[in-house]
A and B are shown apart, each in its own frame.
Chain A
Amino acid sequence: MIEFQHVSFAYEKDRPVLRDLSFRIERGEAVGLIGANGAGKSTVMKLMLGLLQGEGRILVDGTEVRRETLGEVRKKLGFVLQNSDNQMFMPTVYEDMIFAPLNYMVSREETDARVDAVLERLHLEYLKHRHNHRISGGEKRMAAIATILAMEPEAILMDEPTSALDPYNRRLVINIIRELEQTRLITSHDLDMILDTCGRVILLSEGRIAADGPAEEILRDRELLEKHRMELPLSLMGR
């Protein structure tokens, strides 16, 4: 579904953020992308979405990410931003949800049906006509996910989906992520959440892949994690 082939990127010359990155994510996989601050996690996402252009080849569902294919690629990828306020720019949740489908020429009826289906599935019907600036942080995050689901993307990228959420809302978000059947790529420092939601983990360090494998294995490796400025997930500490 998503493939990086020898991808490098630098904001400034001589200071590469990503160095010769190669990996492949299969359809339906849930992958956690972890790493310390500045390891290049969000750069990976931005490259995939075509917000940044680097060296090397990136394939999304067989299509290479290039200027000409941006529309096609972006339609397949749904990106949930860390700051929901920046994602939800319309006055109401409903208007934000119809924004993408209507842009992609989905009919009005079908869009409305999608919106209702997504809201029902996430048990968020009560949010439909609420104003984005009048709902709580947790509701906003859930609504942001709903916005992306209404796009019906083939893969969903999430940037810190559980940051600044209380335990209850964090659990709700985790449950939503677990129930999705799309390909998922999630960056986070919340390793417990990664453990709960992802089968595979890619550990980035200084622009390179330091480890790539089953989540249970990598997240249990105290030595590896601490070497790359991270800690064991709390749920694994006792064992």
Chain B
Amino acid sequence: MNKMQKALRELAEMDELAARTSPVHALHPAAKLLATIAYILVTLSFDKYDLSGLVPMVLWPILLFQISGIEVRSCFYKLRIVLPLVMAVGLFNPFFDRAVVLRVGSLAVSGGVVSMVTLMLKGLFSLMASFLLMATTPIDSLCAALRKLRVPKMLVTLLLLTYRYVGVMTEELAVMTEAYHLRAPGQKGIHISAWGSFLGQLLLRSMDRAQELYSSMLLRGYHQHFHYVDVKPFRSRDALYLGCCVMAFLLLRYVPVAQLLGGAFVR
């Protein structure tokens, strides 16, 4: 399977997840989007040494995973992109910051280690949050929500159209790549002699495709206006959800839950 086929499968998986039904899927997309943004912002706002403050933030995504019926492990595949990047930056912390900030029993932990772990958890948590958003919200409802949040129409329409053709183009390139490698066994990538023509050919064809696509829009009465699926109205249930989420995040941000919990057991 080449990279494009993998990407297509990933897209298909997200589609399937978003097409399921659950109490989380039923929420208004705007409420979910705003709650996700709030969650990530609060997560990122934790101090780099505030590991014990950050840990309880895991509860929200975990809870949502369970309510929506989506397996936690289904997002781990996507970690392959986030984690190495975060590690590449975070790995330096233990070298430069060696002041001992914590002793557990006889084990001394340096500030650098704490900040590195905090960084990784931040990466993991924000990934889980955005994964949950996309796994419970189809792209068309998300676009409708973006419209409701006053994102310019041109951008939203472009997102919608591009998403539609990402699948088509990726498939075409997947087929082209396969055809290329069938005739060039042993080559890992595209040889320099075909650098321009490989994508260039498809690009020229795409321009004709865009032309036909535009005709198809014109023939169906297009006059620079796109109609979106109506999202369900923003109900009190959605407001309640959003309110509760934000409250919970602020609570977790300002009340050292882990510290207090631990304090109850350890003097």
Enumerate chain B interface residues (CB-CB to A < 8 A): 12, 15, 138-140, 160-161, 163-165, 167-168, 209, 212-213, 215-223, 225-230
Q: State A75–B209 Cα separation when bound (angstroms).
A: 23
Cβ-closest chain B residue relative to A98? B227
B164 touches A75 (CB 8 A): no
A161 to chain B minimum Cβ distance, whole angstroms, is 15
B219 touches A91 (CB 8 A): no
Cβ-closest chain B residue relative to A71? B221
Q: State A133–B139 Cα separation when bound (angstroms).
A: 13
B9 to chain A minimum Cβ distance, whole angstroms, is 12
Residues in A neighbouring B161, C-beta threshold 8 A: 89
Residue-wise, chain A 70-90 has the 8 Å CB interface mask toward B (1 for contact) of 010011011101010111111
B213 touches A91 (CB 8 A): no
A74 touches B218 (CB 8 A): yes
- Choice from A74, A91, A103 contacting B139 with Cβ under 8 Å: A91
A77 touches B139 (CB 8 A): no
A103 to chain B minimum Cβ distance, whole angstroms, is 3
B164 touches A94 (CB 8 A): no
- Choice from A77, A81, A88, A94 contacting B212 with Cβ under 8 Å: A81
Instruction: Show 25 residue pairs from A and B whose CB-CB distance is below 8 angstroms, ordered by the A residue.
Output: A51-B215, A71-B221, A74-B218, A74-B219, A74-B220, A74-B221, A75-B221, A85-B168, A86-B212, A88-B164, A89-B164, A89-B165, A89-B213, A89-B216, A90-B160, A98-B227, A99-B222, A99-B227, A100-B220, A100-B221, A104-B221, A108-B230, A131-B15, A134-B12, A134-B15
Cβ-closest chain A residue relative to B139? A91
Cβ-closest chain B residue relative to A108? B230
Given known contacts A85-B168, A133-B168, is B221 in contact with A91 (CB within 8 Å)?
Answer: no
Residues in A neighbouring B219, C-beta threshold 8 A: 49, 51, 74, 77-79
Please tell me if A197 contacts chain B, counting CB pairs below 8 Å: no
Seed contacts A83-B212, A99-B226; 5 additional CB < 8 Å A-B pairs: A74-B220, A91-B139, A103-B221, A131-B138, A134-B12
Cβ-closest chain A residue relative to B225? A103
Residues in A neighbouring B227, C-beta threshold 8 A: 95, 98-99, 102-103
Enumerate chain A interface residues (CB-CB to B < 8 A): 49, 51, 71, 74-75, 77-79, 81, 83, 85-92, 94-95, 98-100, 102-104, 108, 131-134, 147, 151
Residues in B neighbouring A94, C-beta threshold 8 A: 229
Q: How many A-B residue pairs have CB under 8 A?
A: 75
B221 to chain A minimum Cβ distance, whole angstroms, is 3
Residues in A neighbouring B167, C-beta threshold 8 A: 133
Q: Which of B12, B140, B217, B220 gathers most chain A CB within 10 Å?
A: B220
B58 to chain A minimum Cβ distance, whole angstroms, is 32
Residues in A neighbouring B12, C-beta threshold 8 A: 134
Residues in B neighbouring A151, C-beta threshold 8 A: 220
- Choice from A75, A85, A95 contacting B140 with Cβ under 8 Å: A95
Given known contacts A91-B139, A95-B140, is B164 in contact with A86 (CB within 8 Å)?
Answer: no
Cβ-closest chain B residue relative to A70? B218
B8 to chain A minimum Cβ distance, whole angstroms, is 9
A91 touches B163 (CB 8 A): yes
- Choice from B164, B215, B225, B226 contacting A132 with Cβ under 8 Å: B164
Q: State A74–B219 Cα separation when bound (angstroms).
A: 6
Q: State A131–B164 Cα separation when bound (angstroms).
A: 9
Cβ-closest chain A residue relative to B220? A100
Q: State A147–B138 Cα separation when bound (angstroms).
A: 21
A95 touches B220 (CB 8 A): no
Q: Which of A78, A83, A94 gathers most chain B CB within 10 Å?
A: A83
Residues in B neighbouring A90, C-beta threshold 8 A: 140, 160, 164
B218 touches A91 (CB 8 A): no
Residues in A neighbouring B215, C-beta threshold 8 A: 49, 51
B228 to chain A minimum Cβ distance, whole angstroms, is 7
Residues in B neighbouring A91, C-beta threshold 8 A: 138-140, 160, 163-164
Q: State A78–B223 Cα separation when bound (angstroms).
A: 17
B217 touches A89 (CB 8 A): yes
